[in-house]
Structure 1
């Protein structure tokens, strides 16, 4: 695609990156076939090809309008189009650049601006979000349905391991997961403890930066990333093997730290190292497959697995969760159109509830057709969103393994090992 970027952006790093991405696009249209919003709305401007055209116009100097902003806002950033694209167009980066430019040129209406500010400042700050979620859970029976869908029932996280091990990994606790589903990280810590790995939650770590970044507050998002790097770095220097992610949305963002901070002379090298160390849980556990099978035995469950977009399209990890569960005897089923987004997409289900609900209902219908005992996924947003549309339990897949280990310990307590102390 030929480009002629306007003076305001053509000589900037963002402009140069955007131009390279635009020039890679051949407008073949393969991306429209796998775009969830195009499938629902049938509008070319609500598909990747149309949005690329809109961004190109804006970067070439055409003044954007509220309509331009709406079409870009309605993108889920699921990046399914990147998986489909034969030319390797990095659409996710392009839409981030385009949205930020449009955000600076098109004033939002007061109500929209207030909602986005509340999401950026409230959801990403654990000290605000956690008490707010606890209050919501207390009042949950009284909440209207739309709000109740965003407030999962309160759950017990169980115990956190106290043993010390020579092998250590860093765990991102995150901003919303500890309040919404505290058992996920605790279950991960228990499983890794059984495998002889200690998980460390660094003081002062927090939101990965994804929430602010995808709401176009890039400067604040980069500060979130710098804070995490500072929190993790002493543990990296002490020899932590990996930075383990239990939420694929966070993992996709942290793996991008090296790129996003590459022009920061103080943080560029550290950010690149952090990205290299970051691993989704499904990348860690295959190395422990034999040990897991010995400890957990067989898990005889029928599971419909929903692979999050941030895992299969963002991180390009496919089949890993299924293989781990299959090795433990789980009958794992992928539903029809498993490549499509469930509609959660970070804050998308709050900002665009009608589209998100339709995508959720389509996904649930396909998942339930596999006749599962439960639904599993790998991202807190997907889990919460899907659970609001079904009576089947929706859990993180690591919780299945944690339950199996606990059951095996009850049957054969001698499996539990004596505490190991690092020397």
Structure 2
């Protein structure tokens, strides 16, 4: 695609990235076939090709419009289009640039700004979030249906192992996962402990940066990344094998620290190493299958397991099929629903700001999962787990929790 970027962005780092991405797009339209929002609305402007064209117009000098903002807001950034694209267009990076520029030009109405800023601050203050979430769980039966669906039922978190092992890895705990479903992190700690691996959890780490990034607060997002690098770097230098991440949305972000900070002379090299060291938990356990089998119970009743692969795992991290392969090595089968490549509609804060589209996508996904008649639905990202769980009586959990129960 030919480009003629406007002077305000042409020679900036963002402009150079955008120009390269736009030039790679041949406007073939293959991406529309796998775009969840295009499938719902049938509007070309709600598909990757249409959004790319709008971003191109914006970066070539057209003034941002509320319509542009609407169509980019409706994008889930699921990156299914990237998996489909024969030209390797990095749509997700372009969408971040487009959203940021529209935000600079248009801003938001006061009420919407208040809602977004309140949610952003709540999610990023772990202590306040956890106390608020516990209160919401206690009051859950009394909440309106719309709010009740946002609050997961409370369940026991289980014990935290205290053993010290020679093998060590750093674990990203996440900003909302410990409050929403603390058993995910504790189950991760227990499984790795049984395999002789100690997980280090530095207290000065925090959000991976995704919350600020996807709400177009880019400099704060970069500061989140720098803070985590400062927290993890000494541990990697001391011999920690990897940065282990059990929320695929966080993993997709951490694996791109090197790209986000490539122009930062102080952090560029460290960020690249952190990205290389970042591993989703399935990447760690894939090499431990034989060891895991020796720890598994032999009397566990057979169950039908359905699996929803999060977009951030199969498209963002390009780890499609990884969890299914691990379970197969462990002698279990996980069933995939029809259209497993499509988003469930959670997508971070998307379910708050695009509730109608989000619920449609959730209901479509649950319909296909329920067709498998599962005893349990497994996934690999807290947002997907909470979102799917809000619409079904079937237990929905992280696959590491299920594995932990078998060991």
Equivalence for 2:329: 327
TM-score, scaled relative to structure 2:
0.98
Equivalence for 2:320: 318
Equivalence for 2:6: 6
Equivalence for 1:151: 151
Conserved 8 A contact 1:22-1:52: yes
Equivalence for 1:63: 63
Equivalence for 1:125: 125
- Secondary structure, aligned partner of 1:26: coil
Equivalence for 2:279: 279
- Secondary structure, aligned partner of 1:289: helix
Equivalence for 1:351: 353
Q: Deviations over 1:67-125 (max 9, x none)?
A: 11000110000000000000000000000001000100013111111111112211122
Equivalence for 1:200: 200
Q: Deviations over 1:277-322 (max 9, x none)?
A: 0000110001111111111045522110000000000000011111
Q: Does 1:337 align with 2:339?
A: yes
Conserved 8 A contact 1:140-1:148: yes
Equivalence for 1:140: 140
Conserved 8 A contact 1:21-1:89: yes
Q: Deviations over 1:327-356 (max 9, x none)?
A: 223221000000000000000000101000
Q: After superposition, where does 1:201-280 map in structure 2 within 5 Å?
A: 201-280=201-280
- Secondary structure, aligned partner of 1:151: coil
Instruction: Report the more deviating stretch, 118-127 or 62-71.
Output: 118-127
- Secondary structure, aligned partner of 2:230: helix
Structure 2 Cα separation of the partners of residues 401 and 155 of structure 1: 17
Residue 230 of structure 1 and its aligned partner are, at CA, apart by 0.9
Residue 55 of structure 1 and its aligned partner are, at CA, apart by 0.1
Structure 1 Cα separation of the partners of residues 282 and 303 of structure 2: 19
Equivalence for 2:377: 375
Residue 154 of structure 1 and its aligned partner are, at CA, apart by 1.4
Structure 1 Cα separation of the partners of residues 11 and 396 of structure 2: 48
Unaligned runs of 5+ in 2: none
Conserved 8 A contact 1:301-1:331: no
Q: Tell me how large the CA RMSD over aligned residues is.
A: 0.9
Structure 1 Cα separation of the partners of residues 382 and 82 of structure 2: 23
Conserved 8 A contact 1:169-1:242: yes
Equivalence for 2:111: 111
Runs of 4 or more consecutive aligned structure 1 residues displaced over 6 Å after TM superposition: none
Q: Does 1:26 align with 2:29?
A: no
- Secondary structure, aligned partner of 2:305: strand
Conserved 8 A contact 1:301-1:330: no
Equivalent position to 1:362, from 353, 361, 364: 364
Equivalence for 2:41: 41
Residue 9 of structure 1 and its aligned partner are, at CA, apart by 0.3
Conserved 8 A contact 1:125-1:206: no
Query: How many aligned positions are there?
Result: 405
- Secondary structure, aligned partner of 1:31: helix
- Secondary structure, aligned partner of 2:264: coil
- Secondary structure, aligned partner of 2:365: helix
Residue 203 of structure 1 and its aligned partner are, at CA, apart by 1.4
Structure 1 Cα separation of the partners of residues 122 and 246 of structure 2: 21
- Secondary structure, aligned partner of 1:154: coil
- Secondary structure, aligned partner of 2:373: coil
Unaligned runs of 5+ in 1: 406-423
Equivalence for 2:307: 305
- Secondary structure, aligned partner of 1:339: coil
Structure 2 Cα separation of the partners of residues 111 and 51 of structure 1: 26
Conserved 8 A contact 1:82-1:90: yes
Structure 2 Cα separation of the partners of residues 342 and 125 of structure 1: 26
- Secondary structure, aligned partner of 2:306: strand
Structure 1 Cα separation of the partners of residues 286 and 311 of structure 2: 21
- Secondary structure, aligned partner of 2:406: helix
Equivalence for 1:400: 402
TM-score, scaled relative to structure 1:
0.95
